[in-house]
Amino acid sequence: MTAGAISPSSILVNVSPENPAPDESVYISLNSYAANLDSVAISWLVNGKTVSSGIGKKSLTVTAPGAGQEMRISTSIAFADGKVDKNIVLRPAVMALIWQANDAYVPPFYKGKALPTTGSDIKIVAMPELKSGSQPVNIKNMVYAWKKDYNNDQGASGYGKNFYIFTNDYLEDSNVVSVVASTTDQKYSSAGEITVGIFEPKILFYKNDASLGTLWEHALADGHRINGEEILEAAPYYISPEDIRLPSLTWDWSINGTYVGVSSLKKNALPVKANPGASGTSRIKVEINNKYKLFTSAEKELDVQF
């Protein structure tokens, strides 16, 4: 280039997404604060082969290669006083983000996943699948840059930090967490984003059988008939802490609006008894609160017949 020519640093290259997945569509565009790119000839090459050229050709869309492969893209901008070349290398990778709600209760034999509720501690684990040539990169030997709700979290980021733990805010019904995992030489990287919603804890009632224990396979519904003496057991799905026997949880039981005390050993169980010759309907209610988490609570009512 001659003196006074356009500087390569004045030509900006935008790649979207910045860290593409294998076979993902990638949009590449040029812009400049120092030159009018609409009036100059621009050519694009992919792996050395010209794929597009013409006046004002400021953008190109390509399909990223497979995992472990790379694509070299170059563009040449022909100004009157010289050419400016820019080069881009795409090295796609796969990123999986897995989340779990820490310290959230689910009953025994529950086949689902504990869901986060207000005030839950949530852990997200990043599992990038990066290859350097044909060899996979160890996820513990990478640098992780974490963001929560699009804000950088420097304290949680760094070398080998492939997990992220946060406590959700009662004012938000979801959180967006993203991460970029890079090799230490910055040659390879992978990115991912996940939205974690917040759910309400729910209570289901079960019958506790003297011989078989809690009958988890069948939740009780309104209209359940009490025969003689029974024990009703409340299971507060997703509430924190995971150990519902801890004193941080308070249990308030009532029958037809009248408070009923329960054993301090098993506060989630209520013994009930139908008196001989009596019949009717009663409303049983339980309210659960966490003494240390203001917005962690749940309640449920059950109409029973006797």
Domain harbouring 230, CATH code: 2.60.40.10
Three-class SS state of 14: strand
d(CA 147, CA 94): 18
Together in a domain, 79 and 101: no
pLDDT averaged over the chain?
A: 91
Q: CA-CA distances (angstroms) from residue 276 to 115, 210, 242, 273, 291?
A: 43, 20, 39, 9, 39
Helix segments in the chain, DSSP class H: none
Q: Is residue 2, in this structure, part of any structural domain at all? A: no
pTM to 2 decimals? 0.79
Domain range for 170: 94-197
Q: Among the three residues 140, 170, 197, which one is the final residue of a domain in this structure? A: 197
Are 44 and 116 contained in the same domain? no
Is 249 in the same domain as 217?
A: yes
Residues 190 and 254 in one domain: no
Over 70: is that where the pLDDT of 4 sits?
A: no
Q: 86 and 46 in one domain?
A: yes
Domain final residue pick, 160, 176, 197 = 197
- Residue 235 sits in the same domain as residue 179: no
- Look at residues 47, 69, 90 and tell me which one is the last residue of a structural domain: 90
Measure the CA dihedral 130/183/164/145, to 10°.
-120
Q: What is the arithmetic mean of pLDDT over 59-72?
A: 91
Least confident of 93-97, 213-217, 233-237, 262-266: 262-266
The model's pLDDT over 222-259, given as tens digits with 9 standing for 90+, comes to 999 998 899 999 999 999 999 999 999 999 999 999 99
Residues 37 and 109 in one domain: no
Region 192-218: mean pLDDT is 93
Please report, for the chain, how many H helices and E strands are present, in that order: 0, 26
One domain, residues 206 and 285 = yes
Q: What is the pLDDT of residue 81?
A: 87
Domain count, the chain: 3
State the pLDDT at residue 264.
72
pLDDT digits (tens, 9 = 90+) for 145-201: 999 999 999 999 999 999 999 998 788 889 999 999 999 988 889 999 999 999 999
User: What pLDDT score does 1 carry?
Assistant: 41
In this structure, what DSSP letter does residue 38 have?
G
Res 169: pLDDT: 79
Q: Do 278 and 210 belong to one domain?
A: yes
248: its two tokens: 């941080």
Q: Is the pLDDT reported for residue 115 higher than 90?
A: yes
Which pLDDT tens digit goes with each residue over 5-58?
A: 688 889 999 999 988 989 999 999 999 988 899 999 999 999 999 999 999 999
Considering the domain architecture, whether residues 57 and 145 belong to the same structural domain is answered as no
The reply to whether 269 and 247 lie within a common domain is yes
Residues 98 and 86 in one domain: no
What sign results for the dihedral spanned by CA atoms 219, 223, 227, 232?
positive
Examine the pLDDT at 132 and tell me if it is beyond 80: no
Whether residue 1 lies inside any domain: the answer is no
**Torsion of the alpha carbons at 12, 13, 16 and 22, rounded to the nearest 10:** -160
Q: Is 140 helix (H, G, I), strand (E, B) or coil?
A: helix
> For residue 3, is pLDDT > 60?
no
Beta bridge partner(s), residue 121? 102, 167
Distances (CA, A) of 268 to 93, 115, 233: 48, 20, 6
What pLDDT, on the 0 to 100 scale, is given for residue 158?
97
